[in-house]
Chains A and B, each alone.
Chain A
């Protein structure tokens, strides 16, 4: 039994066998064959092709009903490539002519094909060399009996109930975790605020990240306990520890049942202040969980997931269908955030200045959209068209100056005029809000509130920019602090600006779903919280028991305090009232 410590996510506990990710390199042996061996080598090669084709068929059958159409199309294209005379017949010719082993022959032929693709002018077709290698690798792995553990749509292993162990997970990989019923994951990198962590929370999945290389102690199929609340993982636990954790697991489930009694209750404080509890979603799949906890609507729909993991942006009609579906299934107000690319959320396809979006200070979020109107415009049209089918608002991420807001409002106005001219239904009075994530925007909140219909505080980025900490940089993670007085002052300022201009202000960062901050935020005047459905009932529990008249004194003291540790002590007191 061995325990490792990292940053925990989620309040749950997961128990299951480890699945250690490894992208094994394929080393290709070169063997010269005797003439008598040639026929059996060709046979072996054909058998590997047949096996690989069967795997593809199994994959195709196993695709989820709501898997994007592209997945099936790509598997089909790969199957055709596998059987293509230029891959199969040519490789066999090489085996016979050069008297070499199948692996070497196949890679030789793949290299020839790849070279042709590399010389193509069209960037899209040039990228197709990856498909050739992908297909070849599948056959090579068969031939060499190499097991590769990865998380992609072509993975054919059963991951249900297993705990994924890896160095780090890309947001794309976490999407596959969702579809494959993985129980939990643990990683070397990442922090509680990295995107991977946020997704883990939204999956209601306990996880531990930031294990700093210690995952090398974990082997495939080791029994693991992942304690998301304490940030501990236990490898091959003793039966006593296992029993203890199983009983804790059932206690957590009991608490969940207790919370479910709050679903129907009116969302207001003990002194009858109405509070709106909204949900954050990434795809239509998340709507169900929101409906279950009776959220007042969607406060943040992250549309970037519609754009990720694919070779081109979704066109207007695809986006329209998706937004319309979400607006009509939610049946309550939905705030759609326009494409928010940046940091660890990246697109697969290329566009000019793509690299800049990796920097927290680069061409990301609304900046990227305004520079790539060909991506932005279809999205705006799709959202506007969906607004005819539900109460939809537009939210712009990362606004930082007045001109930007003017530009966006002008584009939206133009788009509406175009739709009107084309006779396409839309809500001509659609509300447009901005996300306050940059200190400049928080400081200018009074002015921004004059232009916009609502503000939403994105605390994850606001903290990153205020404290100058790159969220995805593990090394400075310890400086990330929602209780920093500068952060609290900015939040307060934005809430006040909204009140003054008489427009709604919501908070949709991780702080909204953390019960530690519920009372503090209530005390600062926040009345709209948007969070992942997982936390909604916990936060509601806090709200039902809070009396805002009694919060004032301690909240005032917290705001007057100039050091974070003092502020934290006061926060603990506030939470005990």
Chain B
């Protein structure tokens, strides 16, 4: 299992569109992908559960990946967050 702390830096936080991108990215991997924020854990493959974390800009979340492709899953998810969800800001 891999674990990494990461800051949400895009302006709107984990809003609908960003959550959708995160979920689509996580769904590409076999590994279980979880996001923890404010002592709540969300299944990163469920858009509702990701949105309900209500992680806004500046939030520090913990990403956990567990499974045979956990390394690739971690770098894809953290890359997306660090890249502002490929949005402009």
Interface residues of A (CB under 8 A from B): 70, 73-74, 76-77, 80-81, 84-87, 113, 116-117, 120-122, 124-125, 128, 131-132, 312, 315, 317-318
Contact among A76, A86, A122, A317 with B46 in the assembled complex (CB-CB below 8 Å): A86
Residues of A within 8 A of B88 (CB): 315, 317-318
Q: Add 15 more A-B contacts to A125-B51, A128-B51 (CB < 8 A).
A: A73-B20, A74-B17, A76-B24, A77-B16, A77-B20, A81-B47, A84-B47, A86-B46, A116-B52, A117-B52, A121-B54, A122-B56, A124-B15, A125-B15, A128-B16
Q: Do A113 and B48 have beta carbons less than 8 Å apart?
A: yes
Q: How far is the CA of A205 from the CA of B48 in the complex (A)?
A: 42
Q: How far is the CA of A116 from the CA of B54 in the complex (A)?
A: 10
Nearest-Cβ distance from residue B48 to partner chain A, whole angstroms: 4
Nearest-Cβ distance from residue B35 to partner chain A, whole angstroms: 14
Residues of A within 8 A of B15 (CB): 124-125, 128
Contact among A85, A113, A312 with B43 in the assembled complex (CB-CB below 8 Å): A85
The 10 closest A-B pairs by CB, nearest first: A86-B48, A77-B20, A80-B47, A120-B54, A84-B48, A77-B16, A73-B17, A122-B56, A84-B46, A125-B54
Residues of A within 8 A of B20 (CB): 73, 76-77, 80
Please indicate which of the listed interface residues B19, B23, B46, B47 has the most CB atoms of chain A within 10 Å of its own CB. B47
Q: How far is the CA of A85 from the CA of B43 in the complex (A)?
A: 10
Residues of A within 8 A of B54 (CB): 120-122, 125
Nearest-Cβ distance from residue B78 to partner chain A, whole angstroms: 20
Q: How many residues of B are in contact with the other chain, CB < 8 A?
A: 21
Residues of A within 8 A of B12 (CB): 124, 312
Please indicate which of the listed interface residues B19, B46, B56 has the most CB atoms of chain A within 10 Å of its own CB. B46
Nearest-Cβ distance from residue B34 to partner chain A, whole angstroms: 14
Q: Do B46 and A74 have beta carbons less than 8 Å apart?
A: no
Q: Which residue of A lies closest to B49 (CB)?
A: A86
Task: Please provide the chain B residues from 1 to 38 with a CB less than 8 Å away from any CB of chain A in the complex.
Answer: 12-17, 19-20, 23-24
Q: How far is the CA of A146 from the CA of B57 in the complex (A)?
A: 40
Please indicate which of the listed interface residues A80, A121, A132 has the most CB atoms of chain B within 10 Å of its own CB. A80
Residues of B within 8 A of A128 (CB): 15-16, 51
15 residue pairs bridging A and B, Cβ less than 8 Å apart:
A70-B17, A73-B20, A76-B24, A77-B17, A77-B20, A80-B24, A81-B47, A81-B48, A85-B49, A113-B48, A117-B52, A121-B54, A124-B13, A125-B15, A317-B88
Q: Do B23 and A80 have beta carbons less than 8 Å apart?
A: yes
Residues of A within 8 A of B14 (CB): 125
Q: How far is the CA of A490 from the CA of B29 in the complex (A)?
A: 69
Residues of A within 8 A of B48 (CB): 81, 84, 86-87, 113, 132
